[in-house]
Amino acid sequence: MTPEQFVAGLPKAELHMHIEGSIEPAQFLRLAQRNGVAIRWQTQEELRAAYSFTNLQDFLDLYYDGCRVLVQPQDFHDVTRDYLRRALADHVLHAEMFLGVQGHTSRGVPLTAVMEGVLSAMEAARVEDAISSGVIVVVQRHRSEHEALALLDALRPWYDRLLGFGLGGAEMGNPPSKFSVFFRRCRERGFNVVAHAGEEGPAAYVREAVELLQVQRLDHGNACLDDPALVAQLAQARIPLTVCPLSNLKLRLVPSLAAHPLRKLMDAGLCVTVNSDDPSYFGGYVNENYLACQRALGLERDDMVSLALNSFEAAFITREQRLAAFRAIDAWVAHSEQEAVA
């Protein structure tokens, strides 16, 4: 069994994927036409050519501009449903997706259109494909904490259908501490909490996310390696990191995948997971991230199994779901070993 075949059948969870970052060029053009949105590109080739970034802000400028094609509930439904179909094709059993609500409501899209579109697609995927999923609303760190708190209150009608809240956007100049009250309110209301930290920001931002925001999971977290004491703390507390290798490469945060810190994070005993972040922009869904790291970093089959096991350990799922996923991984490993003998 080749690495491609092994990864293709390996059960996994994806925990770091932005719904708006999964709009493929063909769908982007269709949505723009459907909603009468003027865009700068006329063909898929032109659009893909624009996916060349020098830093995170460069990407975010295009990303936020691209969100304009999402207008109606059906738009949010279609994008979410398409991603979940694609995730299932990668043998993702459970997906936790980020949703940047503020980027839509700030341009006049009703909150109901965003939420009902996404949630209806998640339910359809559960019924039709038996893939479980959850949505984590991400507040944008370049906006104010006051705006984040207002959004928290506005989302009350959907509380029982939300998995949690997170923090995203350009890190520099927007430390996690800026949102300490917001995260305390989220925790008080019983929500899971996560935060992007240590992607382009320093290890100090990772520490703030852990100690001030008290996050259960770190999105990216690469910079923690600059603080050995923090690494030890993360390993001991078993706080997961949702790492996105192809994203880091595309945004030039690493010079090559061979230089990516994934192996160092794993060797440090951290609960590391591999994810796609914004797959249509960064040229790879979750399996492509696994395989790219396998080739560049020399990951063995056991390493890939560990990453898959970690993804379910880190997921916000029930104990029964977690144990079922572990059994599915064990069954796939046993099958692959039988194939090797045959």
For the chain, give every domain's residue range. Answer: 3-341
199 is catalytic: yes
Tens of pLDDT, residue by residue over 135-182, are 999 999 999 999 999 999 999 999 999 999 999 998 999 999 999 999
Tell me if 72 sits within 8 A of 35, measured CB to CB: yes
Which range has the worst mean pLDDT, 23-37, 134-148, 199-213?
23-37
CA 56-58-62 angle, 5° bins:
115
Work out the pLDDT band at 46, boundaries 50, 70, 90.
confident
E strands of the chain, at which residues? 12-18, 92-99, 132-140, 164-168, 192-197, 217-220, 241-243, 272-274
Task: Find residue 216's DSSP bridge partners.
Answer: none
**Tell me, what's the pLDDT at 54?**
78
Tens of pLDDT, residue by residue over 122-133, are 999 999 999 999
User: Is residue 340 over pLDDT 80?
Assistant: no
27/9 Cα distance (integer angstroms)? 27
Residue 333: count of CB within 10 angstroms of its CB = 18
CATH number 3.20.20.10 given to 3-341: no
From 14, 24, 199, 208, active-site residue: 199
User: Is residue 341 over pLDDT 80?
Assistant: no
253/55 Cα distance (integer angstroms)? 8
Work out the pLDDT band at 342, boundaries 50, 70, 90.
low
**107: which DSSP letter?**
T
Token pair recorded at residue 283: 């040229």
pTM of the model: 0.95
Residue 15: count of CB within 10 angstroms of its CB = 29
- Sign of CA pseudo-dihedral 216, 296, 60, 115: negative
Which range has the worst mean pLDDT, 37-46, 70-79, 181-190, 196-205?
37-46
Tell me if 13 sits within 8 A of 312, measured CB to CB: yes
Which residue is it, tokens 């009350």? 156
**Tell me, what's the pLDDT at 263?**
97
Tens of pLDDT, residue by residue over 291-319, are 999 999 999 999 999 999 999 999 999 99
Pairing of strands 272-274, 241-243: parallel
213/187 Cα distance (integer angstroms)? 9
The backbone torsions φ and ψ at residue 94, rounded to the nearest 5 degrees and listed phi first, read -150, 135
Residues 6+ apart with CB under 8 A from 24: 82, 280
Report which of 280, 264, 270, 207 is spatially closest to residue 238, judged by C-alpha positions.
Answer: 270
Which residue is it, tokens 């914004």? 278
Report which of 234, 165, 162, 151 is spatially closest to residue 198, judged by C-alpha positions.
Answer: 234
- Provide the percentage of residues in the chain whose pLDDT is more than 90: 88
CA 53-54-60 angle, 5° bins:
55
Per-residue pLDDT, averaged over 90-104, amounts to 97
Per-residue pLDDT, averaged over 239-254, amounts to 96
**180-188 and 145-154 helices, crossing angle to 10°:** 20
Per-residue pLDDT, averaged over 48-77, amounts to 86
